[in-house]
Structure 1
Amino acid sequence: MNKNLVFIIGLFILPLPGMGVDAYAPSLPAVTAYFHTTSFLTQLSIPFYTAGYAISMLFSGTIVDIYGTKKLTIASLIIFALLAILIVFVPNIHMLIVLRVAQGLSVGFFAVSVRVATMSLYAHDKELLKSKVNIMQIAWSMGPILAPAIGGYLGHHFGWKSSFLLMAGYALTLAIVTAIFTKETIKKRKTVNFIEIKNSYTTILGDKFFLLGVATMGTLYAVAVSFNTVGSYIIQNTLHLSQISFGYCALVLGIAWLFGSLVNKAIKSYSFEEKAIGAAVAIVIISAVMFGITRFVINIWVLMGTTVLLNIFAGVLYSGLYCLTIARFSHIPGNSSGLMSSGILFVCAIITTTMSKVVSHNGVLPFLDADMLLNIAGVIIAAVLFYLQAKTLQRKYFARG
């Protein structure tokens, strides 16, 4: 079996979960008009997809361990594609939301299978595995970065259904390629040990650092997703820009988030704690300055300038917290990774739903204020998490002086 070929195929699969949100987001106002429904109901199709994804992350790892990676990857990709095709023919928004939940459930299986396959292939070389995981994180981020621009173009020229046809074609192609060019990567299947799983979950969920880390990351991630839900209406309906323009705006924000993550990895002279605390302070300063500026000037440039700066430092903070949180349970990576991913997605789904309900879809300023408040909320949770670390760092700096 060609390990590198299997890994490369996995890299093309990883952007698909993000594509399920971001290729579709530019078309939200068009979907609202098509079904003659409310913007709130239409927006629910994104957090409900995220919730389905979160639910499947809770148990997909265990099922993959039992049945292997290849069959589950192929099956879940086909199901994802078929659901995307069915969405094209739904008669109302309620049916669309139901199918989006099901689509989210299917995502967890191929998302986990790809990661498990990589861990199985490169488990013998820890340094090589770390390198592959970093590449996978970049590949995963390509979904939120590229999909909005592609989805905006398709939606503008071919209608909202084209984004789901894109998802279907992409997923089916990957299913065929996986079936032809890959083999099973798990040689020894596991059996279910419910007592072991229960003990692992009890240990993980009893860790306050882990829970606060998940809450912070979920809040920060919700800021990005909320731009794709509420922001889609504001940019198109209030600022009267096209789906293509919104897609480019989301593309820039995705690049800003990725840039923050890369900065966090590139700076080696400071610890994760120091970089995360520095990013949190920057978020507070940017929010305070931009809060004052937006009382006098508010337009697309101020909107994008504020969100780009916040996304860069949110990316730094998120990346640092991800490494710190997952490292606490490196002896049980499967369960801790599943719980962490699921928790982040659940927090994101709850906040995104709330934002869709309470934030005006007609005003740039209310949206920006809510965006800044969410970032501040993430910083406050992180401040509780880093309280002891901050005291340690303070003593270290005084010692240097």
Structure 2
Amino acid sequence: MTTEATAPVFVNRRRAFIAMLIMVPLGGAATDIYIPSMPAMAHFFGSGQFSIQATLLLFMAGYGIGQILAGPLTDSLGRRLPILFTTCLFVIASIGIALAPPLWVVLLLRAAQGILAACSAVGARAIVADCYEGDERIKAANWMTIAWATGPILSPALGGYLQDWFGWTASFWFLAGWGTLVVLVAAFLLPETRRISLRQPLGDAFAVYRNMVFDRVYVPTALGMACLISVMYGFEVLAPFYIQTNLHHSPIFYGHLQLVLGALWLAGNFFNRLVSTKVRVRHTIAVAAGTSLLISLAMLALDLSGVFSVAALVVPSGVIYFLMATIWPNGYSKCLARFAQAGGSANALVSGLFIIVSAGFTAGASLLQSPSAWPLWALYIFVTAATLIFFTVFLRKEFDYTVK
């Protein structure tokens, strides 16, 4: 039976779902669209490689911390107004970077962009928990993951063309435009999906984190997801310099490679939908993470023996992208289901943790400067092994099922 408290959610669910699909990719686009421009930015600012990589690492740190703060905020105040306000500020920060200030200002604005994009992302993703239950929630979460993936899939290719045609600032002008679209969607299309009966004082909303931190499933799942997403972030931070600086290819070429990798990530998500109804989830995870670990070990050995080329970098990375993406929806839906009554905080903490942890892993790999890709393969060995341990040892019973 539909009550007065739930009626607005279900009556406007279609509008909310469409708005979510438009808003969710912004965070991924803000992360990835300018990646083909990294070598050009290093030349423009006359800086070292790590200083430019730090623009991404600081965004990721802000994005992770911002999501942890935004979860209780959106659970307490609702989804719509925080999305609207923070995205307006995101547009201003994007314009500030596009005006090409000194590098230290760019670094600060990238950190601010991360924090602001986080609030929009958390509010948008929480719509799934607000509007759907049971099997419908799993399906909606999968579509949300696919929508999020379009950001990192499409934006690097677009960024390569923008770099070639207009220079590195063009990507940030584009982000300002996309942010403006999100503002309009939040203002005129998105209904408020957080029921008033579920809202609570901000202090109480933050207190929910204590239960999550001590939950025997939630945190290990989040850490496992942090390890597997490091496959994507590690490539995005390290590969632009390998491919463009060391192997002398263009930004457009790199953008196309990233498009292929993003498509493989998306294909892995779709493949998970097919196999999850027939194969135990634990078995899928074990095969995907175990195979990725073996590939990473083999590629490290080949790289150290002198095998370094675009094909040797991208082909095995693409296989690993696909395999690790088959794990992703299972972990995400598990975390949301553990605390469905606090959907904003549940998706915020897991997202914040996996971004902060993966940023730390990637920063460590970035410090291992090398003209070949062995730091990337060393990172992949560590994170694929950790993924295997978290999901098949600590969480074995939680994923020992098939989705009906």
- TM-score, normalized by length of structure 1? 0.88
Q: Does residue 1:373 correspond to 2:373, yes or no?
A: no
SS in 2 for 1:44: helix
Contact 1:28/1:229 (8 A) holds in 2: no
Residue 293 of structure 2 corresponds to 284
Distance between the aligned counterparts of 2:381 and 2:248, measured in 1? 29
Do structure 1's residue 159 and structure 2's residue 164 form an aligned pair? Answer: no
Call closer, same or farther: CA 1:327–1:393 in 2, change over 3 Å: closer
CA gap 1:111/1:137 in 2 versus in 1, 3 angstroms? same
Q: Deviations over 1:225-266 (max 9, x none)?
A: 122222111111111110000101111111122222222221
Q: CA deviation at 1:180?
A: 2.5
Quote the residue 2:79 is aligned against.
69
How far residue 375 of structure 1 moved from its aligned partner, in angstroms, is 2.6
Matched, 1:274 2:290: no
Q: Note the C-alpha offset of 1:99.
A: 0.5
Q: Please name the residue that 2:270 is paired with.
A: 262
Alignment of 1:36 with 2:46, yes or no, is yes
Name structure 2 gaps, 5 residues minimum: 1-10
- Distance verdict in 2 for CA 1:227–1:73, change over 3 Å: same
Q: Distance in 2 between matches of 1:82 and 1:109?
A: 15
- The SS at the match of 1:106 is helix
Corresponding letter in the other structure for 2:46: H
State the match for 2:106 in structure 1: 96
Match of 2:8 in 1: none
User: How far has the Cα of 1:141 moved from its partner?
Assistant: 0.6
Find out whether 1:142 has 2:147 as its counterpart: no
Structural RMSD (CA): 2.6
Say whether residues 1:205 and 2:213 are aligned partners: yes
SS where residue 29 of structure 1 aligns?
helix
CA contact (8 A) 2:126 2:347 kept: no
Deviation at 1:43, TM superposition (A): 0.8
Unaligned ranges ≥5, structure 1: 395-401
Residue 234 of structure 1 aligns to a residue whose secondary structure is helix
Q: Which amino acid aligns with 1:176?
A: L
Instruction: Please tell me whether the aligned partners of residues 77 and 175 of structure 1 are also in contact (alpha carbons under 8 angstroms).
Output: yes
Cα 1:178–1:215 change in 2 (3 A) is closer
Secondary structure of the 2:327 match is helix
Question: Do the aligned partners of 1:73 and 1:110 also contact (CA within 8 Å) in 2?
Answer: yes
Task: Note closer, same or farther for the CA distance 1:213–1:177 as it changes in structure 2 (3 Å cut).
Answer: closer
Give 2:233's aligned residue.
Answer: 225
CA pair 392-331 structure 1, distance change in 2 beyond 3 A: closer
1:247 and 2:255 aligned: yes
Shift of 1:2: 4.7
Deviates more, 1:378-387 or 1:72-81: 378-387
Are residue 387 (structure 1) and residue 397 (structure 2) matched? no
Question: Aligned equivalents of 2:194 and 2:334: distance in 1?
Answer: 28
Residue 376 of structure 1, CA deviation: 2.4
- Check the 8 A contact 1:219/1:348 in 2, yes or no: yes
Distance 2:102 2:176 in 1: 20
Judged with a 3 Å threshold, the aligned counterparts in structure 2 of structure 1 residues 210 and 223 are, in CA distance, closer, same or farther, namely same
Task: Please state if 1:302 is matched with 2:308.
Answer: no
2:123 maps to a residue whose letter is: S
Is 2:362–2:379's contact at 8 Å kept on the other side of the alignment? no
> Any conservation in 1 of the 2:71–2:346 contact (CA below 8 Å)?
no
- The alpha-carbon deviation at position 64 of structure 1 amounts to 1.7
Post-superposition offset of 1:188: 1.0
Q: Closer, same or farther in 2 for the Cα pair 1:318/1:126, shift >3 Å?
A: closer
Label 1:3 to 1:377 Cα distance change in 2 as closer, same or farther (>3 A): same
- Partner in structure 1 of residue 245 of structure 2: 237
TM-score (norm 2): 0.87
- Residues 1:359 and 2:377 aligned together: no
**How far has the Cα of 1:390 moved from its partner?**
6.3
Render the CA deviation track for 1:31-63: whole Å, top value 9, x for unaligned: 111111111111101011111111111121222
Distance 1:373 1:213, change over 3 A: farther
Aligned residue number for residue 173 of structure 1: 181
- For 1:248 and 1:151, the matched residues in 2 are separated by 10
